Amino acid sequence: MRNFYRLLPLFFFFLALLTSGCKDKLPVKDDLSNAHYVFLTQDSSRVVFPQNVKGKVVVLGLIFTHCPDICPLITNNMERIQKEAKKEGINDISFVSISFDPLRDRPSVLKEYADVREIDTSNWVFLTGRQSEIDSLKKQLHYVSIAGDTTYSESGEPSYFFVHTDRITLMDKEGRTRQEYKGSSLNVDEVMKDIKTLSD
Amino acid sequence: MFILIVLMMIMPFQQKAQIEVKNAWMRPGAKDMNSALYFEVINRSNKADTLYDVKSDLAQKVEMHETYRQGDMMGMRPVKMVAVGANSSFKFEPGGHHIMFINLKKNLKKGSPGGEVTLYFRHAGQIKIKPEVKK
């Protein structure tokens, strides 16, 4: 029995070592815990990001809705993660898509984008806002999007596309970014493992 | 002689098309927004063919594009044509070559009929397809 008590500190030492190992696996990249970005949701509600999702693990993607190939891949991958999280009973999770093309992506456009893709918005919000707010967030996330030349259709509709960072970001419950993945081609199992590390 | 004539009459109908387009599908998209079309081209002939144009009434503009990666950035650029080598195939797929539909004229929802698209090949001529709309 005496030996047991002697070994107890050693046991806690190794336990602490193991726990810190898990945290080190997902070190804090950018701290947005005190950030206050004012955005509008797809339903035109005003929210302050990331305060609106505090207490949840966040899967974050930046997109523009006129993107026909890359952003739909990012959105599809977020949907795959959402389905897997639901299957595994993970409830402390939120999905956030933020447009970096607010000129075209008004709340109603974001709503159409979600509706036509039949996205489950029970724990997924689409956000847009002032260009200055979006630019500040992009800077904080080291995210780049560069608009290309504008062309016009026969009816005079402008059309332009972006070269942009291909990324899905995982944030912890305090609003700190902890991991980044290639948005258009990620391994859902790897993301789920990281989500479980940050989830309860 | 009679059998030979009959065989000559039947044979053209039994030959498989030299260019086959299969697994055509489009992404959902709302009216006035964009979508992309993907498919596989199989060239069974002994000479290369070229897809040089795509037309459809589904959108105001239809263009051939390719997606490219530069570091952790991705972008799209137009391509004028796509060559499909003799006895080979070429895939238009997400994250690669695709047909871009700019300013859709109607909502394309999952499961809804996409509508007709005409592909123009240098040798095989026009091939009409009706892609499925899916995610």
Q: Which residues of B touch A78 (CB under 8 A)?
A: none
For residues A143 and A166, give the distance between their C-alpha atoms in angstroms, rounded to a whole number: 9
Interface test with A, best of B64, B68, B72, B106 (most A CBs within 10 A): B72
Instruction: Choose from A42, A65, A116 for mutation: most chain B CBs within 10 A.
Output: A116
What value of ipTM does the predicted structure carry?
0.83
User: How many CB pairs below 8 A link A and B?
Assistant: 94
CA B48 and chain centroid, separation:
16
Quick: pLDDT tens for A131-172.
999 999 999 999 999 998 888 777 777 789 999 999 999 999
pLDDT tens, residue by residue, A97-131: 999 999 999 999 999 999 999 999 999 999 999 99
Looking at beta carbons, which residues of chain B come within 8 Å of A69? Answer: 36, 65, 67, 76, 94-95, 98, 100
Chain A residues inside the 8 Å CB shell of B131: none
DSSP string of B51-80?
A: EEEEEETTEEEEEEEEEEEETTEEEEEE-S
Phi, psi angle pair for A89, to nearest 5°: 70, 25
Q: Which residue has the higher pLDDT, B128 or A157?
A: B128
DSSP state of A100: S
Helices (H), chain B: 2-14
Q: Which residues pair with B37 in a beta bridge?
A: B26, B99
Lowest-confidence range among A8-17, A86-95, A139-148?
A8-17
Tokens of B76: 């799209």
Q: Residues A13, A16, A17, A18: is their CA dihedral positive or negative?
A: positive
Across the interface, which of A66, A73, A118 has its CB nearest the CB of B95? Answer: A73
Kindly report the pTM of this predicted structure.
0.86
